[in-house]
Amino acid sequence: MICGPKKKEARIFVVDGEPKDYSHVVDAVQYDKIQFKFFTSGRDALRHNPEDEPEMWVLNMRLQDMSGVELSSMLRSRGTNVPMTFVGDNYDVDAEIDARTNGAALYFAKPLMSEWLIEAGERVAIEDM
């Protein structure tokens, strides 16, 4: 049997006060391709080691301590240069415009379809090879 090159695992850091909203996504993931790490606040996310960079950030637009846009700006000022995906608790056209104006690679509204996030994560893993 001939094997192709092994795809890199994509690490996705999710910042959302409701990590349970992603349980169906995590359950649907092929763990050899995507690994999730959850933070429940912007402060928690900013405490992570900046050397430990994921392949993609997923930020809720409304965190308990700041907005996802504010967090994105702080992460960018620390040198983060990976795609940022924003998630709204409900679809709001103004929030999507705000997210896209502030560099969102993608914008989703809850409830998330697992296929969306899995496909985005797998695409990041393939492009990063």
> Helical H runs in 1-129?
23-28, 42-46, 68-77, 93-101, 114-127
Number of domains forming the structure of the chain: 1
Torsion angle of C-alpha atoms 88, 26, 71, 85, degrees rounded to 10: -60
Q: Which of 105, 86, 17, 13 is nearest to 52 (CA)?
A: 13
Residue 5 lies in a domain: no
pTM of full prediction above 0.85: no
Amino acid at 45: A
- The H or E element containing residue 59 is strand 56-60
The reported pLDDT for the residue numbered 118 is 66
Residue 113 lies in a domain: yes
Residue 91 has pLDDT above 50, yes or no: yes
Residue 79 lies in a domain: yes
The shares of helix, strand and coil residues in the chain, as percent rounded to the nearest 5, are 35, 20, 40
Q: Which domain holds residue 93?
A: 10-28+36-127
Q: Which two tokens stand for residue 116?
A: 């969306």
pLDDT in tens, 77-90: 999 999 999 999 99
d(CA 101, CA 94): 10
Confidence band, pLDDT 50/70/90 cuts, at residue 123? low
Residue 73 has pLDDT above 90, yes or no: yes
Residue 63 lies in a domain: yes
Residue 55 lies in a domain: yes
The reported pLDDT for the residue numbered 98 is 92
d(CA 10, CA 26): 13
**Domain containing residue 84: CATH number:** 3.40.50.2300
Residue 57 lies in a domain: yes
Section 98-125 average pLDDT:
79
Residue 69 lies in a domain: yes
Residue 1 lies in a domain: no
